Amino acid sequence: MGTSAYDPRSYWNELVTGDGRLSNVGQPALGVYNSYAYRSRLRSLKKALQGVDLGRMKVFEAAFGEGFYLAYWQSQRVPVVAGMDISEAATGAAKAKFPQYDFRCGDLSCKSDFADFGRFDVVTAIDVLYHIVNDKPWEQALRNLLSLVDDNGYFLFSDKFPRQGTYQRFSHVRRRSLSMWEQVLSDAGFTIRRLIPVFVFMDDPIKCGEHPWLGFLSMQQWRVGAKLLRVTQDFPKLQSVLAFSYATIQCLPERALLAMLKRTPNLELAVCSRSSSTTSHPRQPQRTAHSLR
């Protein structure tokens, strides 16, 4: 699919208004269903950072959007948080809500927007880099973010990984294979240590990723569920009831499969660190304190 219709600055400035609604940064038509999906996202982030003493960390959040994770950093008493988002309204709202932190409006693929940020123990790019659809700026954004990571720090990013090449159904979303990511990461001296499945059923899956049969199954249920939520978006009360029911039905199989599977045909969260740091075995479950390494 062509990418010419997608202008990131105007697209995100229109969508991410800073009013705190998760539908601005999740699935816009699915209303409160997003709040259930974000619970799963947060569980994955906590899993990724298990054993890390956030109360002593410096965190950089790329594309904080409506500030869902900013509230988490605050709740964990992270002493230093900085971030960048392309939406002016989102940046204004984040500055007003978290005046103790350092936020800038900028483009992740623009090197000069990063001047004087310093370095961080944890750098996150959750649900953003696949929105940089041209490969050169994507690579530049990834390099810009990796340059912020402290020697013993972590870099976290999310994507749905096709087994090969890229997958693009929408002009503003380009999925990239693990090997594409790994090429840039290893070039910059980084290794993926763990992959944490975020969703199996609670977001639209890809059929060209891991476990294609599960991707197919997940896609069938998602088509029905998401359609029901979409057609009721003008009736918020009905949509809320449906969102609750759909999320409740999904909950048990979702949790069971997330506990069992190492990979998913849906969103995954990658935890990376410098190849030279003393790290634990890639994709091995977390161990004791400060143990992503």
Ligand X SMILES: C[S@@+](CC[C@H](N)C(=O)[O-])C[C@H]1O[C@@H](n2cnc3c(N)ncnc32)[C@H](O)[C@@H]1O
Q: Please report, as ranges, the residues that interact with ligand X according to CB under 6 A.
A: 8, 12, 16, 25, 63-65, 68, 84-87, 90, 107-109, 126-128, 131-132
Closer Cβ to ligand X, 66 or 121, answer by number: 66
Closer Cβ to ligand X, 74 or 191, answer by number: 74
> What DSSP designation does 130 have?
G
Closer Cβ to ligand X, 24 or 277, answer by number: 24
Nearest distance, CB of residue 21 and ligand X, angstroms? 11
Nearest distance, CB of residue 151 and ligand X, angstroms? 25
Closer Cβ to ligand X, 44 or 277, answer by number: 44
Bridge partners (DSSP) listed for residue 62: 84
Nearest distance, CB of residue 172 and ligand X, angstroms? 9
Closer Cβ to ligand X, 16 or 30, answer by number: 16
Return d(Cα 189, Cα 59) in angstroms, integer. 20
Nearest distance, CB of residue 87 and ligand X, angstroms? 4
- Phi/psi region, residue 52 (left: phi>0; alpha: psi -120 to 50; beta: rest), is beta
> Dihedral of the CA atoms 246, 251, 254, 258 (nearest 10)?
150
Closer Cβ to ligand X, 109 or 177, answer by number: 109
Nearest distance, CB of residue 185 and ligand X, angstroms? 19
Residue closest to ligand X, measured at CB: 65
Kindly list the strands in the beta sheet with 120-125, ordered across the sheet, starting from the edge strand earlier in the chain: 102-105, 80-85, 58-62, 120-125, 149-159, 268-274, 190-197
Return d(Cα 3, Cα 1) in angstroms, integer. 7
What is the SS3 assignment for 176? strand
Alpha carbon of residue 247 to chain centroid: 20
Closer Cβ to ligand X, 12 or 199, answer by number: 12
For residues 253 and 202, is the Cβ–Cβ distance under 8 A? Answer: no
- Of the candidates 138, 155, 137, the one whose C-alpha atom is nearest the C-alpha of residue 146 is 155
Tell me the residue type at 140.
Answer: Q
Nearest distance, CB of residue 276 and ligand X, angstroms? 28
Tell me the residue type at 122.
Answer: V
Q: Quick one: angle between helices 8-15 and 88-97, nearest 10? A: 50
**How many other C-beta atoms can be found within 10 angstroms of the C-beta atom of residue 52?**
20
Nearest distance, CB of residue 248 and ligand X, angstroms? 23
Closer Cβ to ligand X, 35 or 87, answer by number: 87
Nearest distance, CB of residue 57 and ligand X, angstroms? 18
Return d(Cα 203, Cα 267) in angstroms, integer. 8
